[in-house]
Structure 1
Amino acid sequence: MGGFGRYLAAAVAARLASEGMGLAVVLLALERTGSAGHGAFVLTAWLAPHVLAAPLAGAAAARARRPRLFHVGALAGFTCAVAALALLLGRAPVPLVLATAVLGGSCGPMVTGGMSSLVAGLVPAGARRDRAYAWDAATYNAAAVTAPAAVGLVAALGSAAPAMAVLALAGALAAALAATFPYGNGGAERVPASLRAGLGAGLAALWRIRELRAITSATTLAFLGIGSLTTTAVLLATRLGSPGGGGVLMTAFALGALAGSLTLGRIRAAEPGRSARWAMAGTGAALAAAAFSPSVAVGAALFAVAGVCDGPLLTATLRIRSEYAPDAVRTQVFTLGAGLKLTAASLGAALVGVTAGAPPQALLAGISVLLLAAALLHALLARPRGSVPAAPATAPSAGSATARAGRRTPGAP
């Protein structure tokens, strides 16, 4: 198995653990304390550090003299936190449990954006790298499909504690595989010490570089809606007479997203910014139609269409980050982007909880409006303003990439 093959295996394992945590924590809390609300507090503690830890994790990764040790350590810390929560939740004092969740959540950005930032060093630029990002995006979608099913199955056969143990084993496998990546020579890109960026450099790059600013702003707005989709799907299915149909709707969405990332997401001819806009617009239109579904079966078909449209969005986002992020802050850009999206999704989930009394059709229509608005926002922010064409940040030197940061045009080769 080549370096990228091992990367894909590690990414699937790590993201399986990450995606399964939401359901596993709530089930374990309900089993041991009788309160799902207790699990919600622990899950909040797990998710909250992501956006705060993202710039710190990115800067630390850029400055690490031993990148292998740093990435393996982050995955190991994530894994240890999962295992510790399996033992402590419902048994240990609440402050200790919450502190463990915060520590584990602080490693979260390296499971998402931090790992994706390694692709540029594992696969040469061009069509192969674009296909690699499509496969990387598919690992997120595959984990979103399989993790809840795996957790639910193991919990049904025994209890939620073994389900948490399965997630910990997946994290351990990811850490072991990460130790075999070809870091350094021939592997992940490294930046000379004099060019390593400070803590705020990644955030500055997201703001200064038009393409990064456009995709980050648009996807953050889009995930404000996507984050509320699961709860809205449950409410919609209940309104349609099938209380258990929410899982069917979200499974259809996840399967569609997986198919979309493996098919539409691999089309190199499409400029990534245009692909992102059409993905958000298509997802919004399909969900708007789903709001008028007469049955769960029709809704599932439309949710699957929405997922197919959503599939290329992550691939396009990863391509844009890779092409336009200066080498010195590449990992920061990836971790920050992932952290902002996750934070927006968490806020969206909280908002739909507050408005859960509204008709689910109205909530789903609101989600579609957010996605359509995100597509429009990207079109406005990505529009060039008399800029001079220049090559993206995949040029050889980080210094020259930084100097060109403010004058690139979309679709630069």
Structure 2
Amino acid sequence: MGDSRDGTGSPRTTPTSVTSVRSPRTADTLVRYLLTASLVRTASGGAAVGLFTLTVRTGGPGGAAPGGLLAALLTAPYVAGPWLAGVLDRARDGRRVLGVSFLVFGVALAAAALLLGRVPFLVVAGLVTVAGLCGPLVTGGLSSRLATVDGWDERGRRRAEGWDSATYGIGNTFGPAAVGAVGAVLGARTGVLCLGTAAAVAALTVRTLPAGAPPAKGPAGPLRVRQTFRIIATVGQLRRVMLAMALTALVAGGITVVATTLGRQLTGSPEAGAALAAVYGFGYLAGSVVAGIVPLRGEPERTSTVLVAVSAAAVACCAVAPGYAVAVVTFAATGAASALLFTATLAVRAVYAPPEARAQVYVSMGALKMAVSSAGTALAGTLMGLGPRTLLGAGCAVTLFALTGVLGDRRISRKWNSAAESQQNSSARNNSGTLHPEIS
């Protein structure tokens, strides 16, 4: 009775945590979750900028290169995310795993800031790598906890996912701003120490969240990483949303670099270019807040497909913006569309990820998104000689390719399912019509 079919014909069980009854404590739970997520994601969002700024100001050998290396070491360990998420899926109390990871992140980041320029650089690089290993649990690992909270109805869960998306925007927008503001008054080292403190506080507040259901087990015990990737590849909704996430992340990763250049070209002012990039970030934050106030409706995968089309249109408008004022509107709209699309992908993961691999699915998809986004940033910087409008046109084409791939995959899956059902019905009719000789 509880089974439905995904795009590949595989059975899917609707999560039992989505109920029709709203607990009076769910609003309080959401506030505590948002506080935790905002604190730790602000620390994560500002860490790279803080370490880079501190490295440059300490005046060590190599100039800005060591700062760039430290920033890269914060994101490179995301490739280990699926293995780390397995620990969260198997834990009897996921809050402990998250609390330890947030504390380790904060302590390692603070220690790196305190020791930078005072001990060999390799020691600092090692500490930053340890902090980076906690990153996947800061992002997808924490988001996966929303699906384990009882008491939310469908609309309430979609609202919570919208606000969760907003915490990413808060972290990426206010994290660098906070470390810069504190650094301007008290020094860059103090700014990074404040980020570490925020992560440590989040390690305490995460323990106030509901414990959630005990870990679900697969038929043969906890799933291995390769089994998780097989789930993502074979469950139609997860496979298609992963394709959409990867290709749109490639575009989103480079759009702030493109915005900076386009804004400078339109006005002749470097400050206007930086402001246009910031507009994209504030658009993302505004879109997330809207999704928190007015939850996304409809089947999550279908909603995400529509939002891929909206994103393509928004990027196209950025490419043809005739002036700076129009560019401000179009880049804000593009940021808002990206936020809504990300919120829809959270809903897809919540609905279609099996409980025994929920954190692994969240983190694995998030890690790939992070890697592709970083590649998009590097690619945009490398190809900037082609011009920002050309790159925005290419970004629109890539997004349309993602939309075509999603629609094509869905059509093929439906035909495959229809053919399989027809074959089963034909076999059933043949079996029912077989004449059996009577035994005399």
TM-score relative to the length of structure 1:
0.87
Q: Is 2:259 the counterpart of 1:233?
A: yes
Q: For 2:319, give the aligned amino acid.
A: A
| 1:345, distance to aligned residue in structure 2 (A) | 0.8
Please say if residues 86 and 359 of structure 2, whose CA atoms lie closer than 8 Å, have aligned partners that are also in contact: yes
Give the 5 Å matches for 1:108-127: 108-123=135-150, 124-127=152-155
Question: Quick check: 1:237–1:243 contact (8 Å CA) kept in 2?
Answer: yes
Identity %: 34
Q: How far is 1:189 from its partner?
A: 5.0
2:105 to 78, 89, 114: 78
Q: Does residue 369 in structure 1 map to residue 394 in structure 2?
A: no
CA contact (8 A) 2:237 2:352 kept: yes
Change (3 A) 1:295 1:243: farther
Alignment: residue pair count: 385
Match of 2:239 in 1: 213
Deviates further, 205-214 or 252-261: 252-261
**Cα deviation code 1:349-394 (max 9, x no counterpart):** 12123223331222222222222322222222334424769xxxxx
What SS is found at the alignment partner of 1:332?
A: helix
Partners of 2:373 and 2:137 lie apart in 1 by 18
Equivalent position of 1:329 in the other structure: 357
Secondary structure at the residue paired with 2:225? Answer: coil
How far, CA to CA, are the matches of 1:106 and 1:371 in structure 2? Answer: 30
Return the alpha-carbon distance in structure 2 between the equivalents of residues 189 and 128 of structure 1.
22
**In 1: Cα distance, 2:156 partner to 2:291 partner:** 15
Which residue is equivalent to 1:147?
A: 175
Deviation at 1:264, TM superposition (A): 4.8
Aligned equivalents of 2:137, 2:76: Cα separation in 1: 15
CA contact (8 A) 2:103 2:200 kept: yes
Q: For residues 79-105 of structure 1, what are the alpha-carbon distances to aligned partners after superposition, in whole Å with 9 as ceiling and x for unaligned?
A: 112112212333332222222222111
Could you say which structure has the larger radius of gyration? 2
Please report how far the alpha carbon of residue 340 of structure 1 lies from its aligned counterpart in structure 2 after TM superposition.
0.4
SS at match of 1:385: helix
Is 1:28 matched with 2:54? yes
Indicate how the Cα distance of structure 1 residues 207 and 312 shifts in structure 2: closer, same or farther if over 3 A, else same. same
Structure 1 residue 296: Cα displacement: 3.1
Tell me how large the CA RMSD over aligned residues is: 2.1
**Partner residue in 2 for 1:97:** 124
Report the residue type matching 1:89 in the other structure: L
- Residue 268 of structure 1: how far off its partner (Å): 4.1
Amino acid at match of 2:250: L
* 2:259 counterpart letter in structure 1: A
| 94-103 or 106-115, larger mean C-alpha shift | 94-103
CA contact (8 A) 2:296 2:344 kept: no
Is the 1:282–1:310 contact (alpha carbons within 8 Å) kept by the matching residues of 2? no
The answer to whether residue 230 in structure 2 is matched with residue 201 in structure 1 is: no
Q: Does 1:191 align with 2:211?
A: no
* Residue matched to 2:16: none
Residue in 2 that maps onto 1:168: 196
Structure 1 residues 66, 260: closer, same or farther in 2, change over 3 A? closer
Tell me which residue corresponds to 1:289.
Answer: 317
Deviations 1:274-329 (Å, cap 9, x if unpaired)? 32223222223222222233443331111111122222111110110011011110
1:44 is the counterpart of 2:72: yes
Contact 2:49/2:71 (8 A) holds in 1: no
Q: What are the superposed Cα offsets for residues 29-63 of structure 1, whole Å, 9 maximum, x if unpaired?
A: 1111362222111111111110x211111111112
| Aligned counterparts of 1:46 and 1:202: Cα–Cα separation in 2 | 24
Q: Deviations over 1:114-162 (max 9, x none)?
A: 0010001124352221111111111112222222221222222232212
- Does the C-alpha gap of structure 1 residues 264 and 171 become closer, same or farther in structure 2, counting only changes over 3 Å? closer
Paired residue secondary structure (2:360): helix
Q: Given that residues 154 and 162 in structure 1 are in contact (C-alpha distance below 8 angstroms), is that contact kept between their aligned partners in structure 2?
A: yes
- Is the 2:92–2:215 contact (alpha carbons within 8 Å) kept by the matching residues of 1? no
Residue 17 of structure 1: how far off its partner (Å): 0.9
Are the structure 2 counterparts of residues 305 and 122 from structure 1 closer, same or farther at C-alpha, using a change threshold of 3 Å?
same
CA distance in 2, matches of 1:83, 1:165: 5
How far is the alpha carbon of 1:271 from its aligned partner? Answer: 2.4
Select which of 53, 59, 82 maps to 2:86. Answer: 59
- The answer to whether 1:385 aligns with 2:414 is yes
Distance 2:120 2:406 in 1: 46
Residue type of the alignment partner of 1:191? A
After superposition, what is the alpha-carbon deviation per residue over 1:336-357, rounded to whole angstroms, capped at 9, x for unaligned? 0110000001111121232233
Residue in structure 2 matched with residue 222 of structure 1 by the alignment? 248
3-state secondary structure, aligned to 2:384: coil
For the 8 Å contact 1:260–1:309, the answer to whether it is kept is yes
Q: Give unpaired runs (5+ residues) of structure 2.
A: 1-26, 419-440
Mapped contact 1:26–1:36 kept (Cα < 8 A): yes
CA displacement 1:196-244 (0-9 Å, x = unmatched): 2123222111111111011112101111111112222222222221212
Q: What's 2:12 paired with?
A: none
Alpha-carbon distance change, 166 to 246 in structure 1, aligned in 2, over 3 angstroms: farther
| TM-score between both structures, scaled by the size of structure 2 | 0.82
